[in-house]
Structure 1
Amino acid sequence: MPQMICRAAALLLGLGLSLTVLAAESQPTHEFVLDNGLKVIVREDHRAPVVVSQLWYKVGSSYESPGQTGLSHALEHMMFKGSRKLGPGEASRILRELGAEENAFTSDDYTAYYQVLARDRLAVALELEADRMASLRLPPEEFEREIQVIMEERRLRTDDKPNALAFERFQAMAYPSSGYHIPTIGWMADLKRMAVEELRRWYEAWYAPNNATLVVVGDVTVDEVRTLAQRYFGPIERQPVPIAKAPLELDEPGERRLTLHLNTQLPSLIMAFNVPSLSTAESATSVHALRLAAAVLDGGYSARLPSRLERGEELVTGASAWYDAYARGDSLFVLSAAPNVQKGHSIEEAEAGLWRELEALKNAPPTEDELERVRAQVIAGLVYERDSITQQATTIGQLETVGLSWKLMDQELAALEAVTAEDIQQAARTYFTRPRLSVAHVLPEEPKDDE
């Protein structure tokens, strides 16, 4: 896929194709709100007789508090354990028999449930989803089994994986004041003492139609979806929902450092800067500039980190940069690297190398050729993503659930096209500063005394 994106980027450049024109050629998209507050967004895509249905709730780990972490993720698991109409696992069985794909996911900012199925089976998916929104059962015996599954998931995905464990600890330091320092799966101590009654209260607080967005993308019309949404979700009553403030960070928390000795063979480095997201920034231009800055540093074979630090100086064996612009609160601009120990380089030298590249971006803007190359790569990646009805639905749901509008999806390409090289330089000068910096050095475990 990266090679395909690069070829598409080259094609865009070679044709001189206006990205604003691409942005304007979007599918018909409709939105409406039921009387109970459920927001429904329908995006037509008639290329195949398939539809994706996603139900997004505005609740995730950033809504949780100390001592009660992991509730959103645990409740996601329990949503498959029965409702007024069906017993544990029966909804999944029905969907499997219809040839549907279904799953769910939880993040810092949201919990979402989705089904991909033939267009004439959409009614079944919506009926099942509405049933568990209105009448979830939380059998204690099912919870006792499922919490053990969740704890094992945490062991396998985090505790026994040095890189994942390091990043979890790093985030807890990098987000000193917001709920983003809470891991989505929850801390193990909280999972061990979680009670099914806590999940019942969490469900009753947040799982309401007026705290959810239904996204349907595929071979449907807005009238079809409106009829079905009203039939299945309309009878569910709205309810009071707690006020959830955006997880804001200190602008300049001060430089923070962490050294971790973990079960790993080679050292690695994580750096991040506290930055705004599109939801919290005063200027959207600075956010899109940070997105392109990440591509300048780590946007394929010709980007600065791989070409200079990896192949040029042979200082690192790998380096990356990434930034999540679509968070409900403030975000992080993250860099990582592994020093080339075979060439005798240390983790301190790798950190100094990353800083040199950041300073270079602050001292001089990218060249026009470099900017156009990385811009085309970013946009080509977005174009490929939007070819999928599932990705279209996910983008819409994410934007809406973090407090933005799905309409930004169709304005995104033009916004990226408008970013100048000087905008990128200014964003680097504003945000890549030591008072915003967190650093983690991840090192192999130290030998024990008796060894």
Structure 2
Amino acid sequence: MNKRLLVASALLFCSSTILAQEVAYQEYDLDNGLHVILHQDNTAPVVTTAVMYHVGGKDRTEDRTGFAHFFEHLLFEGTKNIENGKWFEIVSSNGGMNNANTSQDRTYYYEVFPSNNLKLGLWMESERMLHPVINQDGVDTQNEVVKEEKRLRYDNSPYGKILFAVSENLFKKHPYKDPNIGYMKDLDAASLEEFIAYKNKYYVPNNATLVVAGDIVIDQTKKWIFDYFSPIPKGVEIIRDYPKEDPITTAIKTKEYDPNIQIPATIIAYRTPGFKDRDAYVLDMISTYLSDGPTSKLYKKMVDVQKQALQVGALNIGQEDYGMYLVYALPVGETTLDTLNVSIEEEISKARTTLISENDYKKLQNKFENRFVNSNSNVEGIASSLATNYMLYGDTSLINKEIEIYRSITRKEIMEVANKYLNPKQRVTIDYLPEEKPAN
């Protein structure tokens, strides 16, 4: 090996070693119940300030869907001390960027600033929690914003409603049956008082986790956090008691139509346990085994060899109470959806009845090692992982030890979990079709 190659290899090794280092953090609670997690990394002069609220699409009553996603937008409107419409201007003019996102289980807000603006980031998030202005003008404005988002991302987007079709067929009782974005008629019908009540219930310190990650001074950061967040009153304890689903014991076959597509798709879906369950980790590995990359079982067979599918994939969609495991495929030419379903079931059947090879098992372990390292490679990712691990998994230390769960999963366990959840009698098969044209 020449010297140049030797140096490059050494640098690569050092880089990998650094990226894989344990994430150090401190965590504590304020008296009002706000959980705080601090991660110090002084290698670059940037800091991420993030707040995760334990409220998502599932936290609603019947006929009032979509509130959590709506609040993702509404809480950027303004506060008692931030003029309406000025939030993004304040962030960008101080060298920062920000965003937010909502799932069925949580809502996440974050800012990334130069580290000398940490105090500003903390003040803005405390303002969002303590002093949001919720009035009819803001509600009306964001109602139109959400409607436009729904039109762009779902109503007028090819295959945009696939997950809606899956969830409404997998769930009949649990709130996961309804889309995270909600139904527009529910938002239209809601009163201003209902929105205010929703804010007072869920956007409180004892239902939130604050993470500060990056170039910080710990003692100073703690003081600012105390100054800005400790005066916020604690909310009433939130009790969740969502209905349990009956097991699926007979295969379900249905059709859905999408006016935005020309090529149909097949979706085979299974209801699975919530993401804290060990079996959910195993299902992650099964989906990677089946469809991650051109050498995966489904892709190689259906796209490369048999040329049946334009695209095929397996997804394990983790959620807090129940997961959704789905396999989808788009046909080539005259290939029927039933033919795709047969090919998919053949590979899933093998996973249920046969140990995967040692070579495939080693490749899986390598992929999950790589994902684990990459997830902690920057402060934004670390902040998100810390908040998620504490709030949704109940274990902040997963940021350093989650890989041990994947390492401990055996080939036999992969087969057993596939056999437990991915059976023909437990599945929903959806023919996702171009919308039928009316007869002339």
TM-score after normalising by structure 2: 0.92
- The residue identity in structure 1 corresponding to 2:189 is R
Which position in structure 2 is the counterpart of 1:374? Answer: 364
Contact 1:104 1:112 in 2 (8 A): yes
Q: Distance in 2 between matches of 1:447 and 1:234?
A: 60
Q: Distance in 1 between matches of 2:68 and 2:56?
A: 5
Contact 1:180 1:247 in 2 (8 A): no
Q: How does 1:183-194 map to 2 (within 5 A)?
A: 183-194=179-190
Shift of 1:403: 4.1
Q: How does 1:189-268 map to 2 (within 5 A)?
A: 189-245=185-241, 248-252=244-248, 254-263=250-259, 264-268=261-265
Q: Distance in 1 between matches of 2:237 and 2:143?
A: 26
Q: Distance in 2 between matches of 1:334 and 1:32?
A: 38
Contact 2:29 2:35 in 1 (8 A): yes
**Aligned mate of 1:47, from 43, 46, 51:** 43
Which position in structure 1 is the counterpart of 2:301? Answer: 308
| Large movers: runs of 4+ above 4 Å | 21-24
Contact 2:20 2:373 in 1 (8 A): no
**Aligned mate of 1:119, from 98, 104, 115:** 115
Change (3 A) 1:245 1:404: farther
- The residue identity in structure 2 corresponding to 1:377 is K
Secondary structure of residue in 1 paired with 2:211: strand
- The residue identity in structure 1 corresponding to 2:155 is D
Contact 1:321 1:335 in 2 (8 A): yes
| More displaced stretch, 176-185 vs 241-250 | 241-250
Q: Distance in 1 between matches of 2:280 and 2:80?
A: 45
| More displaced stretch, 401-410 vs 64-73 | 401-410
**Aligned mate of 2:21, from 25, 30, 35:** 25
Shift of 1:24: 7.8
Change (3 A) 1:247 1:60: farther
Shift of 1:221: 4.0
Contact 1:270 1:440 in 2 (8 A): yes
Q: How does 1:259-278 map to 2 (within 5 A)?
A: 259-263=255-259, 264-278=261-275
Q: Distance in 2 between matches of 1:272 and 1:417?
A: 27
Which position in structure 2 is the counterpart of 1:336? Answer: 328
Q: How does 1:63-212 map to 2 (within 5 A)?
A: 63-212=59-208
Q: Distance in 1 between matches of 2:56 and 2:436?
A: 36
Q: Distance in 1 between matches of 2:91 and 2:30?
A: 26
Shift of 1:349: 0.5
Q: Distance in 2 between matches of 1:372 and 1:225?
A: 43
Q: Distance in 2 between matches of 1:435 and 1:43?
A: 47
Which position in structure 1 is the counterpart of 2:395? Answer: 405
Q: Please list every run of 5 or more consecutive structure 1 residues that lacks an aligned counterpart in the other structure.
A: 1-10
Q: How does 1:354-365 map to 2 (within 5 A)?
A: 354-365=344-355
Q: Distance in 2 between matches of 1:314 and 1:380?
A: 30
1:442 aligns with 2:435: no
Q: Distance in 2 between matches of 1:27 and 1:378?
A: 18
Q: Please list every run of 5 or more consecutive structure 2 residues that lacks an aligned counterpart in the other structure.
A: 1-8
1:387 aligns with 2:377: yes
Which position in structure 2 is the counterpart of 1:4? Answer: none
- The residue identity in structure 2 corresponding to 1:101 is M
Kindly provide the CA deviation profile for residues 350-388 of structure 1, in whole angstroms up to 9, marking residues without a partner as x.
Answer: 011110100011121111111111221122123122212
Kindly provide the CA deviation profile for residues 6-30 of structure 1, in whole angstroms up to 9, marking residues without a partner as x.
Answer: xxxxx9xxx9x9x9x9998312111
- The residue identity in structure 2 corresponding to 1:339 is P
Contact 1:270 1:337 in 2 (8 A): yes
Q: Distance in 2 between matches of 1:59 and 1:401?
A: 11
| More displaced stretch, 349-358 vs 413-422 | 413-422
Q: Distance in 1 between matches of 2:158 and 2:256?
A: 10
**Aligned mate of 2:314, from 310, 317, 321:** 321
Q: Distance in 2 between matches of 1:238 and 1:370?
A: 51
Shift of 1:176: 2.1
Q: Distance in 2 between matches of 1:369 and 1:395?
A: 30
Q: Distance in 2 between matches of 1:59 and 1:165?
A: 23
Kindly provide the CA deviation profile for residues 315-355 of structure 1, in whole angstroms up to 9, marking residues without a partner as x.
Answer: 21110011134x22110111111112x2x210010011110
Q: Distance in 1 between matches of 2:386 and 2:421?
A: 28
Change (3 A) 1:218 1:246: farther
Shift of 1:191: 2.7
Change (3 A) 1:24 1:144: closer
Change (3 A) 1:335 1:431: same
Shift of 1:76: 1.8
Which position in structure 2 is the counterpart of 1:8? Answer: none
Secondary structure of residue in 2 paired with 1:350: helix
Contact 1:247 1:328 in 2 (8 A): no
Change (3 A) 1:224 1:247: farther
Q: Distance in 2 between matches of 1:409 and 1:27?
A: 7
Q: Distance in 1 between matches of 2:257 and 2:32?
A: 52
- The residue identity in structure 2 corresponding to 1:268 is A
The number of residues matched between the two structures is: 427
Which position in structure 2 is the counterpart of 1:296? Answer: 289
Shift of 1:136: 1.3
- The residue identity in structure 2 corresponding to 1:29 is Y
Q: Distance in 2 between matches of 1:243 and 1:378?
A: 35
Secondary structure of residue in 2 paired with 1:177: coil
